[in-house]
Amino acid sequence: MKRAIAILFLMLAADVAAVSIGAGPSTIDYGKLVRGGYGEKDITVSTNSIENLTCFIEYTGDIKEWMASDEGDTFDLAGNNRKTITFFIQPPESAANGKYDGAIYIRASPTSTVESGAGMAVGAGVKIIVSAEITGVQERSFEVKSVRIDEAEVGQPIPLTIGVKNTGNVKVNPIFQLRVLDKGQNELYDTEYSEKDLWPMREDEIKVDLPSDGIKAGAYVLNMKAYSQDKLIDEWDKEFAIEPAGTISVGGNLKEIRVSTMIAKVGEPVKVTAVFENNGATHIEAKLKSEVYVSGGLEEVLDDSDEYMVAPGEEIELETYFEPERSGNFMVQGFVLYKGKKTDVKQVTMTAVGGGMEDYMYYAIAAGIAMILVYAVKRRVS
């Protein structure tokens, strides 16, 4: 047993020494905000440590009570990976005009030490400088970042995707006037689309299915005007084509499914990644659907991955998570669903170990030894 504890301690010490964490950008400015308003910014947190990390978020400075994240105050970061976190700021109605500063601290330790009770005695951290200005002036504006029309066949809706970003400091309601013209500039029809409120600083994609009833195969032009209330923001002409029925190739290929670790601890989150390729001729939305089996029986249906738009020829990774609740050999299998079709099923096997009282005892003793040594070192230094 002494030998086992010594080995565990050495493993623990090696893991702690290898912990590293980074975040970018290192400075974020929320710009001008109104009292009772809202803003958001994304921070990408990464690690090249092998072991999974548990990260803790702390806020300081003038904006300490105004901030939160979509991950709460704690999140898991898989080994040798990265995660994008959205940080929100919501100044209260009582906030006075002026400039405000603060910081976001993200601290990390190996998940195994946190679970064993060692907590944040040792680890790594990163600091992000935050600033904002409170103003009484409302700025209502948005920017059209992109306009895309996917291929459509005769009789099918024309898929229009508009990328927009709220560049003001209050919610905005984008309005689009859409006119479809033939090559001779003859108007075939016009329609109007109004998007739900878009929050300040948020970037989103608006998807519209334009009708194609009675329109023959050929080349056309979409004239689009974007308004904020009665103010014209911008105007575009976008050429597109409607193809004869049955001519557009739609295809997708699930190249592999993999897991973040082949041997996991019971209760430890395991990332499941599907590598998917769009080998068709048009943009498609794709998501991963997966299940876990033990001894040929269904153990768990995993949450679907987020759905992503994939361009022709593009390869993306779709992710979900599995947390084994018992030890054993598991088979994870799944397929990607796209455009009403699904890929072939792929699978990968993994093993979960631990979870018994003896394992937890070893970790607890090893964590206690680690804390005693850290304390001793601090005493010697002081």
pLDDT category at 354 given cuts 50, 70, 90 is confident
State how far the Cα of 107 lies from the Cα of 59, in Å rounded to an integer.
Answer: 11
Return the H-helix or E-strand segment holding 102: strand 98-110
Mean pLDDT score across all residues of the chain: 86
List of residues 6+ apart from 382 with CB closer than 8 A: none
Assess whether pLDDT exceeds 70 at residue 348: yes
Per-residue model confidence as pLDDT tens digits over 189-228: 999 998 778 999 999 989 898 998 889 999 999 999 999 8
The mean per-residue pLDDT over the stretch 220-247 comes to 91
* CATH superfamily placement of domain 142-243: Immunoglobulins (2.60.40.10)
- pLDDT, position 361: 47
Classify 253 as helix, strand or coil. strand
What is the distance between the alpha carbons of residues 125 and 18, in angstroms, rounded to a whole number?
13
CATH architecture of 252-357: Sandwich (2.60)
For residue 116, pLDDT over 50 is answered with: yes
Rounded CA separation 48/19 (Å):
8
pLDDT of the residue at 355: 58
pLDDT tens for residues 269-295?
999 999 999 998 888 889 999 999 998
* Architecture of the domain delimited by 15-134: Sandwich (2.60)
The mean pLDDT of 180-190, rounded to a whole number, is 92
Q: Between 33 and 123, where is the model more confident?
A: 33
> Which region holds residue 116: left if phi is over 0, alpha if psi is between -120 and 50, else beta?
alpha
Q: How confident is the model at residue 15 (pLDDT cuts 50, 70, 90)?
A: very low
- Give the pLDDT confidence score for residue 39 in this predicted structure: 93
Give how far the C-alpha of residue 76 lies from the chain's centroid of Cα atoms, to the nearest Å: 13
Q: What angle do CA 65, 69, 72 make, to 5 degrees?
A: 95
pLDDT tens-digit profile of 136-160?
Answer: 899 989 999 999 998 888 888 898 9
Whether the full predicted model's pTM is greater than 0.85, yes or no, is no
Residue 325: which residues within 8 A CB-CB, separation 6 or more?
266, 267
Would you call 354 exposed, middle or buried from its count of C-beta atoms within 10 A (0-12, 13-18, 19+)?
middle
Give the Cα separation of 247 and 317 in Å (integer). Answer: 28
C-alpha dihedral (360, 365, 371, 377), degrees to nearest 10: -150
Residues of the chain with CATH 2.60.40.10: 15-134, 142-243, 252-357
Question: How far apart, in whole angstroms, are the C-alpha atoms of residue 3 and residue 25?
Answer: 45
- Per-residue DSSP letters for 10-47? HHHHHHHHT---EEE-SEEEEEEE-TT--EEEEEEEE-
Residue 321 has a pLDDT of: 95
Please tell me the predicted confidence (pLDDT) of residue 235.
93
Q: How far is CA 155 from the centre of its chain?
A: 35
Rounded to whole angstroms, the Cα distance separating 17 from 113 reads 12
Q: Mean pLDDT throughout 225-232?
A: 90
Task: Tell how strand 53-61 and strand 74-77 pair up.
Answer: antiparallel
